[in-house]
Structure 1
C-alpha cells in the first residue's frame, strides 16, 4: 500500500511539472500598446509626425505653454493662438510682457523692466498698465508677432529636422501618447486618443519643452479699448516721451 501511494504521488508531481512547463510556454503575449487607440502608433514614424503636424495646423486654436530657447535667450510662453490672432504672456530674464494680436494689429503691454529697456532708460509713466501699438514697420514687430502667430509657431516647433523614428509609449497629462523624433533632434509626443495632436514637444539640443493643449477651444481676440492704447505711429518709439 505505501508503495502504491508513493507511485501515485510521483505521478501527480510529474503531471504538475508537465502542466507548469506547458503553462510557461504558453504565457500570454504582452499587451498591445495600440489597442483601443486611434491607431496612429501603428503607422510609420514619418507618417505619425506628418499627421500630427497637419492636425495641429488645422486646429482652430491651441494653448501653448512652456519654454523656448532662441538666440541664447530663454522665453517662457503662455499663449493662446488662433488663425485670427493670439494673446498671452512672455517672460524673458527679468522682463515680462503681454501680447495681443488681432489680425495684423499687434499690441504689447510690458512691465517696468521691459519698457525701460525699450526706452533706453526710465520709461514714461503713462505707459504703466497700458498697451502700446506696434506697427508692422517697427523692427520689433516681427520679433514679437511670432509669439502670437499660430502657423509660424507650430511649423517651427513641430519640425523634427531629420528622419523620424518611433519612440516609447507614455501618458502625458492623462493622455496616452506615442513619441516620434529624430536622433539628437526634437521629439513630439502624439495623442493616441481622438485626433492625433502633438501634446508635448521636446525641442532639439535643449531648446525648450512645450505643452500643447485645448485644441479647438473657443478663442476670441479683440483689440483693447482706445483709452488703454498708446500709439506712437510707425516710428516704433515705444519709449518716446
Structure 2
C-alpha cells in the first residue's frame, strides 16, 4: 500500500524543484517584490452483507476507508522509504486540509493546505538544496511560500480522501483475500496483507478505522494513524510570499 508515497515522496523532489525554478526566475529581477497575502447513502443488502469474520481483505480495507472518511480527520506519523529516500511524516489530515511536516534528506519542510491552496515553509538549506542562490534562500528561510497551482496539483492526493482511495484501490498490487486477527497495542485488529508482506491493521471494534500500515514494498516503512475524528485549527498563514508574482 503506497500510502507513504502519496503522503511524502512527491513532495521534496518535483514540487520543491518547481518552486525553486519559479524562485530563480522571479527573484533575479525582483529582490524587493511585494509580499502577497495568502487567501486563503448507500443501501446495503440484508442478505449479502458479510460479517467481520467472513470479509475479504479488500472488504475490510474498504470499510476502513469508509470509517476514516466518516471520522473526518486523522493524524498520520512515521517513516516511508529507506536510506537516502527515507522520509519522516507528521501530518494532520482534516477533510481536504493538511498541516504538518515532512523531513527528507536532513531537511524539514512544513506543509499547509487550506481551502485548496497550499504553502511551504522551510529553512535556507531547504531552498538552497533545490538551486536557490544563497541570498534568496536566506530571504525565504522561515517564510510561508504559496505553492503555485501547477506544482500544487501533485498534492491533490495528500488528503483524507486520497488516503481512503489508496486503501480501497492500492496502487501497488491487490490485497490478499485472507484476513487474520492479531493484537496491536493491546487491542484486537484485523490484518490485511499484500503479496510482498505489506500489512494494513484495522480496528476490529467499531469504528473500524485504519490504525497502522507496515509497508514492505519499494516505499518500506511504518505509518501510524491516530486521533481519528480529533480536529485542530488549520488556518492560512497571515503573510505569505507568492513566487508567481515576483517580477510581475
TM value normalised by structure 1: 0.69
- The answer on 1:86 being equivalent to 2:98 is yes
Report what 1:210 is aligned to: 223
Unaligned residue ranges in structure 2 (runs of 5+): 1-50
Report what 1:230 is aligned to: 241
Higher relative contact order structure (alpha carbons within 8 Å, sequence separation ≥ 6): 2
CA change 1:131–1:157 in 2 (3 A) is: farther
Specify the SS of the correspondent of 2:99.
strand
Report what 1:26 is aligned to: none
| Count of matched residue positions in the alignment of Structure 1 and Structure 2 | 192
In 1: Cα distance, 2:156 partner to 2:130 partner: 18
Specify the SS of the correspondent of 1:51.
helix
- The answer on 1:198 being equivalent to 2:210 is yes
Report what 1:44 is aligned to: 56
In 1: Cα distance, 2:157 partner to 2:61 partner: 23
In 2: Cα distance, 1:68 partner to 1:153 partner: 14
TM value normalised by structure 2: 0.67
Which runs of structure 2 are paired with 1:89-238 in the superposition (5 Å)? 89-124=101-136, 125-137=138-150, 139=151, 141-143=152-154, 145-146=155-156, 148-156=158-166, 159-160=169-170, 161-184=173-196, 186-205=198-217, 207=219, 208-226=221-239, 229-233=240-244
In 1: Cα distance, 2:156 partner to 2:89 partner: 12
CA change 1:234–1:148 in 2 (3 A) is: farther
Specify the SS of the correspondent of 2:182.
strand
Specify the SS of the correspondent of 1:50.
helix
CA change 1:171–1:233 in 2 (3 A) is: same
In 1: Cα distance, 2:53 partner to 2:135 partner: 53
CA change 1:179–1:218 in 2 (3 A) is: same
Report what 1:53 is aligned to: 65
In 2: Cα distance, 1:75 partner to 1:174 partner: 28
Contact 1:178/1:191 (<8 A) preserved: yes
Which is higher, the Rg of structure 1 or of structure 2? 1
Report what 2:45 is aligned to: none
- Cα deviation, 1:86-118, whole Å, max 9, x if unaligned, reads 100000112110000101111100122211123
Aligned-pair RMSD on alpha carbons?
2.6
